[in-house]
Amino acid sequence: MPELPEVEITKRSLSKQILRKKVSSVTIINPELRYNINKEKLTLLKGKIIKKIIRRSKYILIFFNDTNVLLIHLGMTGRFYYTKTNGRKFNTSFYNNTNIINKHDHLKIKFGKFSLIYNDVRKFGFIKRIQKKNVVTSNHLSRLGCEPLSNKFCFNYLKSKILNKKSSIKNLLMNQSIVAGLGNIYVNETLYFCKIHPEKKGYKIVDKDIRKLISVIKKILKNAIIAGGSTIKNYHNSEGKKGSYQKNFHVYDREGKKCLRISCKGKIRRIKRSGRSIFYCSKCQT
């Protein structure tokens, strides 16, 4: 699921469902993830109450009523869902009506009448228990750049980060120490709307285009969050709902199709760079 909008939607769902709830048990179903789940550390969360849930870049941080914090990254296929733990039905459609362990489930956190399950097909995500005082200095969070939806993400900031860079603007925008939270889809879409070729070097981006990048990134991310994120291959958020921003894709996964700019007769191209796809209009992105 996971670029900034999808992680934000996941975080909002978690806030709605588990904030102020007390952990009644923790079960490790399959510890194998990017970093194996530490059973001893996680089971210590039993009895703790969730006080705060925040998102930083593509990470989710769950703060408990002591010094414990869960640091979560969804990788490529990580997702949460809920399941009821007694016979009664919930009056929402958020919950699976079963107690069955599904394939690729890794962790189950029970909150009295329902449980939160972490499921991750490709195991690129992780869940770590860390201490509150180590949040800022954690290897994962300490090197992150600006939140693109914050006021700090502005012309001067982005200009300073790409000024002398020989990397492509596509790679620079994907770099989490420059913009924290963008991924392949939203970078491809951003560059399309800015009419910038993805392989244009950072130092060649003119001021006008840097301003444009700032405003387009903010706009796309806001719209994607409003749309509930993007849903690809039937992934869905933890409340079982699908995002709809994929309907707005202008270049991503549109190889061979016509450019959607009325004045442009170009076709969308796909090229591969270090194993990842770049989609762009070969005519209007220069």
Partner DNA sequence: CGGGACTCCTGAGGGC
Partner DNA sequence: TGCCCTCAGGAGTCCC
**What is the nearest approach in angstroms of DNA to the Cβ of residue 196?**
15
Adjacent-strand bridge partners of 27: 108
Closest separation between CB of residue 47 and DNA, Å? 30
Q: Which of 5, 6, 55, 58 is catalytic?
A: 58
Candidates 52, 122, 273, 276; catalytic one: 276
- Minimum Å gap between C-beta 46 and DNA is 28
Phi-psi region of 256 (alpha: psi -120 to 50; beta: other; left: phi over 0): left
Instruction: List residues near DNA by CB under 7 A.
Output: 1-3, 6, 34, 57-58, 73, 75-76, 103-104, 121-124, 140, 165-168, 171, 176, 183-185, 202, 229-233, 235, 243, 270, 272-277
Whether 5 is catalytic is no
Catalytic residue among 2, 5, 148, 198: 2
Angle at 194 between CA 192 and CA 198, to 5 degrees: 55
Query: Are 53 and 76 contacting, i.e. CB atoms less than 8 angstroms apart?
Result: no
> Known catalytic residue: 276?
yes
Nearer to DNA, 23 or 144 (CB): 144
> Is position 198 annotated as part of the catalytic site?
no
**What type of residue is 12?**
R
Active-site residue 212, yes or no? no
- Structure-token match 């007390």, residue found: 22
Closest to DNA by CB, 6 vs 26, is: 6
**CB of residue 63 to DNA, shortest distance in Å:** 20
The set of catalytic residues is 2-3, 58, 276
